């Protein structure tokens, strides 16, 4: 019987079990992580929980801060007790999970309270992670109706204010809130967020509202104001999302039902579970033959799955023959059908038996369907329960699965011109997600640099040459 329901103290005690079964039952499905959260991280989280309890929704400091926001008054640095960062619901679910973790880490580093815009469905997907006080932004928050219009060109954005010189480090009277635009289309002024000097200014603003679709943690490592703290929090550097993800993201009971029923019906009895996440970014919906070829070249080449005997010679099952369950996720069913038929129509050369499963094929991203994102979330979680994982380049959906699972996946390279890349895949050097659109700027020297070459533990990603990811520095450069 597993006893460590709280992941070695990562999770706070004292929640109502029934209200969020996944928090306590996940130990029944996950292998124990080889990575332990550091005592410093754990105490930081406990402190955060205290802060959240003190400053969270509908507390006196919250009400005061909202009052100030509503009044539109400008503020001097000492005028508020609690400071907030609001995560605006934006982009696909994989992206959202990564950005929420990034924003939470930023909150930890800057002593802010994280509040989550629930968008259409966040409350149906995730349990409350903090004891006692909700992490959701109250529905009567005064400027929620502006969130949709916030964008790269918004006058409220910090980048635009810098560009127009409305604000600068020496400004005394600061606005009660600033909009931070850290989405893929952000410009050089928006990117000044990653400079220590600007952080000093931001630190004085009680409300920060952030819209992002990027896992921006790697660039925080390059900032001297955060670097030391980050290294203390995460002595195993590639575990940032792994720990924060397991701390923050607990599927609601409805999603947990999807996860546990699927696991028990299709995966539990296998000797080994292999996850294959297929996401293509071609213009058409597929399926494409070159992707079929890539999947089999990768899984068989890397010995994740056995080869088949084209002549159909049946190998008598041996003592070592295993039942392997392949969990595939994809918007379409074609890749699944191909793998499934391969192992149905032909025997394996090892005598292993391969069952292939795909929970859904939603055909396209369709966030309006109530179950759509629940299924997406359930599938990321199910992938994270695999023993071995294959993911698709560029996809945050896969990053979430690898991070939660503590897995270094084999990444299926993005294809050029619809041909199978050679090699078809590569083992990731770290389980951290990739920051797809990092800045390439040296704030002190005020010039461009290759930010993937500054420190050994922040490198370019395997799947996106200009991206940045955190790795453990014992890996060679």
Ligand X SMILES: Nc1nc2c(ncn2[C@@H]2O[C@H](COP(=O)(O)OP(=O)(O)O)[C@@H](O)[C@H]2O)c(=O)[nH]1
User: Which positions from 346 through 365 interact with its own copies, judged by CB under 8 A?
Assistant: 346-347, 353-356, 359
**Spatial distance between the Cα atoms of 95 and 114, rounded to a whole number of angstroms:** 17
**Spatial distance between the Cα atoms of 268 and 273, rounded to a whole number of angstroms:** 9
Closest separation in Å from C-beta 93 to its own copies: 18
Is 334 near its own copies (CB under 8 A)?
no
User: Which positions from 12 through 31 interact with its own copies, judged by CB under 8 A?
Assistant: 21
Is 265 near its own copies (CB under 8 A)?
yes
- Interacting span for its own copies (CB under 8 A) from 29-37, 96-104, 252-260, 418-426: 252-260
Closest separation in Å from C-beta 140 to its own copies: 29
Specify the residue, 91 or 160, whose C-beta has the smaller distance to ligand X.
91
Query: Burial of 167 by CB count in 10 Å (0-12 exposed, 13-18 middle, 19+ buried)?
Result: buried
Closest separation in Å from C-beta 430 to ligand X: 18
**Spatial distance between the Cα atoms of 331 and 277, rounded to a whole number of angstroms:** 10
H or E segment and range at residue 47: helix 39-55
Identify whether the C-beta of residue 103 lies closer than 8 Å to the C-beta of residue 210: yes
**Spatial distance between the Cα atoms of 143 and 169, rounded to a whole number of angstroms:** 25
Identify whether the C-beta of residue 164 lies closer than 8 Å to the C-beta of residue 142: no
List 106, 266, 335, 399, residue binding its own copies (CB under 8 A): 266
**Counts for the chain of helices (H) and strands (E), in that order:** 15, 14
List 184, 235, 314, 418, residue binding its own copies (CB under 8 A): 314
Closest separation in Å from C-beta 330 to its own copies: 15
Is 381 near its own copies (CB under 8 A)?
no
**Spatial distance between the Cα atoms of 370 and 139, rounded to a whole number of angstroms:** 20
Which of its own copies, ligand X, none does residue 365 bind (CB under 5 to 8 Å by kind)? ligand X
Closest separation in Å from C-beta 319 to its own copies: 15
Beta bridge partners of 274: 326, 388
Is 208 near its own copies (CB under 8 A)?
no
List 261, 303, 427, 453, residue binding its own copies (CB under 8 A): 261
Specify the residue, 130 or 343, whose C-beta has the smaller distance to its own copies.
343
**Spatial distance between the Cα atoms of 302 and 296, rounded to a whole number of angstroms:** 10
Torsion angles phi and psi, residue 469, rounded to 5: -145, 155
- Interacting span for its own copies (CB under 8 A) from 56-64, 131-139, 205-213, 342-350: 342-350
Specify the residue, 133 or 250, whose C-beta has the smaller distance to ligand X.
250
Closest separation in Å from C-beta 463 to ligand X: 11
Is 254 near its own copies (CB under 8 A)?
yes
Specify the residue, 269 or 444, whose C-beta has the smaller distance to its own copies.
269
For the stretch 77-83, contacts whose Cβ atoms lie closer than 8 Å and that sit 24 or more positions apart, written own/partner, are 77/174, 77/204, 79/206, 80/206, 81/55, 82/51, 82/54, 82/55, 82/113, 82/206, 83/110, 83/111, 83/112, 83/113, 83/203, 83/205, 83/206, 83/207, 83/208
Which of ligand X, its own copies, none does residue 376 bind (CB under 5 to 8 Å by kind)? ligand X
Specify the residue, 375 or 459, whose C-beta has the smaller distance to ligand X.
375
Is 161 near its own copies (CB under 8 A)?
no
The strand pair at 458-460 and 447-448 is best described as unpaired
Instruction: Using CB under 8 A, count the residues that bind its own copies.
Output: 25
Closest separation in Å from C-beta 282 to its own copies: 24
Closest separation in Å from C-beta 353 to its own copies: 4
**Chain position whose Cβ is nearest to ligand X:** 92
Place of tokens 């370019």: 460
Identify whether the C-beta of residue 142 lies closer than 8 Å to the C-beta of residue 71: no
Place of tokens 């509908």: 58
Is 276 near its own copies (CB under 8 A)?
no
Residues that bind its own copies (CB under 8 A): 21, 253-254, 257-258, 261-262, 264-266, 269, 312, 314, 323, 343-347, 353-356, 359, 371
């Amino acid at each position: 019987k597993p006893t460590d329901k709280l992941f070695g103290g990562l999770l706070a005690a004292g929640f109502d079990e029934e209200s969020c079964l996944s928090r306590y039952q996940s130990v029944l499905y996950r292998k124990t992580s080889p990575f332990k959260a550091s005592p410093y991280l754990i105490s930081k989280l406990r402190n955060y929980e205290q802060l959240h309890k003190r400053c969270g929704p509908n507390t006196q400091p919250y009400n005061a801060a909202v009052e100030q926001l509503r009044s539109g008054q400008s503020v001097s640095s000492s005028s508020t007790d609690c400071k907030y960062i609001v995560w605006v619901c934006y982009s696909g679910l994989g992206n959202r999970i990564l950005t929420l973790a990034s924003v939470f880490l930023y909150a930890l580093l800057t002593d802010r309270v994280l509040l989550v815009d629930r968008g259409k469905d966040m409350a149906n997907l995730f349990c409350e992670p903090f004891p006692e006080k909700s992490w959701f932004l109250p529905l009567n928050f005064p400027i929620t109706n502006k969130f949709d219009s916030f964008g790269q060109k918004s006058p409220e954005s910090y980048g635009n204010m810098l560009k127009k010189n409305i604000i600068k480090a020496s400004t005394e009277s600061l606005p009660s809130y600033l909009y931070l635009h850290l989405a893929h289309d952000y410009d050089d002024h928006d990117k000044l967020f990653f400079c220590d000097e600007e952080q000093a200014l931001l630190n004085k603003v009680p409300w920060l509202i952030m819209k992002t679709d990027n896992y921006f943690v790697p660039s925080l490592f390059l900032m001297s104001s955060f670097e030391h703290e980050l290294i203390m929090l995460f002595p195993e550097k590639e575990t940032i999302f792994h720990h924060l993800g397991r701390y923050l993201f607990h599927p609601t009971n409805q999603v947990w039902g999807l996860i546990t029923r699927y696991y028990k019906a299709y995966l539990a009895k296998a000797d080994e579970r292999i996850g294959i996440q297929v996401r293509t970014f071609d213009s058409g919906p597929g399926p494409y033959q070159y992707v079929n070829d890539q999947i089999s070249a990768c899984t068989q080449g890397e010995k994740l799955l056995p080869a088949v005997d084209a002549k159909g010679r049946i190998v008598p099952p041996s003592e070592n023959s295993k039942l392997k369950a392949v969990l595939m996720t994809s918007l379409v069913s074609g890749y699944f059908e191909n793998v499934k038929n391969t192992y149905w129509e032909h025997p394996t050369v090892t005598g292993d038996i391969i069952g292939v499963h795909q929970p859904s094929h939603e055909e396209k991203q369709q966030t309006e369907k109530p179950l759509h994102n629940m299924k997406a979330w359930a599938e990321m979680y199910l992938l994270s329960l695999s023993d071995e994982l294959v993911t698709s380049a560029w996809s945050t959906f896969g990053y979430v699965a690898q991070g939660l699972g503590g897995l270094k996946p084999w990444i299926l390279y993005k294809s050029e011109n619809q041909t199978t890349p050679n090699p078809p895949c590569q083992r990731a050097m770290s389980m951290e997600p990739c920051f797809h659109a990092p800045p390439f700027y040296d704030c002190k020297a005020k010039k461009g640099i290759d930010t993937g070459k500054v420190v050994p533990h922040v490198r370019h990603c395997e799947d996106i040459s200009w991206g940045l990811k955190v790795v453990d520095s014992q890996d060679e450069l």
